[in-house]
Amino acid sequence: MKEKGAMPVLFLMMFLVMVGFGIIIPVLPFYAKTAGANPAELGLLMAVYSLMQLIFSPMWGKISDAVGRKPVLMIGISGLALSFFMMAMADKLWMLFAARILGGFLSAANMPVTMAYVADITTPENRSKGMGLVGAAVGLGFIFGPAIGGVFSKTSLSLPFYIAGTSSLLTLLLVIFVLKESLPKEARQRAKAENEPSRFSLLKGPVALLFFLQLFVSISLSGLEATFAYFASEKAGLTSVKLGYIFMIMGLAGAVVQGGLIGVLTDKLGEAAVIRGGIAVSFIGLLLILFTKNFATAALFLTIFGLGNGVIRPAVSSLLTKISKTGHGGVTGLLSSFDSLGRIIGPPLGGALFQIYSGLPYLAGAFFSAVAYALFQFAKIDRTESLS
Q: Point out the domain boundary residue: 156, 186, 216.
A: 186
Q: Is 296 exposed, middle or buried (0-12, 13-18, 19+ CB in 10 A)?
A: exposed
Residues 95 and 160 grouped into a single domain: yes
pLDDT at residue 193 in the model? 58
Q: Look at residues 326, 322, 327, 318 and name the one whose alpha carbon lies nearest to residue 64.
A: 327
Residues 297 and 330 grouped into a single domain: yes
Residues 315 and 276 grouped into a single domain: yes
- Beta-carbon count within 10 A of 234 CB: 12
Q: Is residue 83 assigned to a domain?
A: yes
Count of domains for the chain = 2
Give the residue numbers spanning the domain of 272.
201-381
pLDDT at residue 189 in the model? 67
pLDDT at residue 142 in the model? 79
Residues 85 and 22 grouped into a single domain: yes
Residues 226 and 118 grouped into a single domain: no
The parts of the chain modelled with pLDDT lower than 50 are: 383-388
Residues 229 and 159 grouped into a single domain: no
Q: Is residue 113 assigned to a domain?
A: yes
Residues 161 and 15 grouped into a single domain: yes
pLDDT at residue 322 in the model? 83
Q: Is residue 193 assigned to a domain?
A: no
Residues 180 and 236 grouped into a single domain: no
Q: Is residue 14 assigned to a domain?
A: yes
pLDDT tens profile 80-95? 999 999 999 998 999 9
Q: Is residue 245 assigned to a domain?
A: yes
Cα separations in angstroms, 312 against 315, 325, 345, 358: 5, 21, 19, 26
CB distance 95 to 86 below 8 Å: yes
Q: Point out the domain boundary residue: 186, 217, 252.
A: 186
pLDDT at residue 33 in the model? 85
What is the chain's alpha carbon radius of gyration, rounded to the nearest angstrom?
Answer: 20
pLDDT at residue 87 in the model? 94
CB distance 246 to 273 below 8 Å: no
CATH number of the domain encompassing residue 104: 1.20.1250.20
CB distance 286 to 302 below 8 Å: no
pLDDT at residue 383 in the model? 45
Q: Global pTM?
A: 0.81
Q: Is residue 388 assigned to a domain?
A: no
Q: Is residue 56 assigned to a domain?
A: yes
Residues 176 and 205 grouped into a single domain: no
Residues 52 and 178 grouped into a single domain: yes
Residues 252 and 290 grouped into a single domain: yes
Q: Is 271 exposed, middle or buried (0-12, 13-18, 19+ CB in 10 A)?
A: buried
Residues 134 and 28 grouped into a single domain: yes
Q: Is residue 231 assigned to a domain?
A: yes
CA quadruple 142, 148, 153, 155: dihedral, nearest 10: -170
Q: Point out the domain boundary residue: 186, 209, 227.
A: 186
pLDDT tens profile 171-216? 999 999 999 998 888 777 666 656 555 555 666 767 788 899 999 9
pLDDT at residue 325 in the model? 67
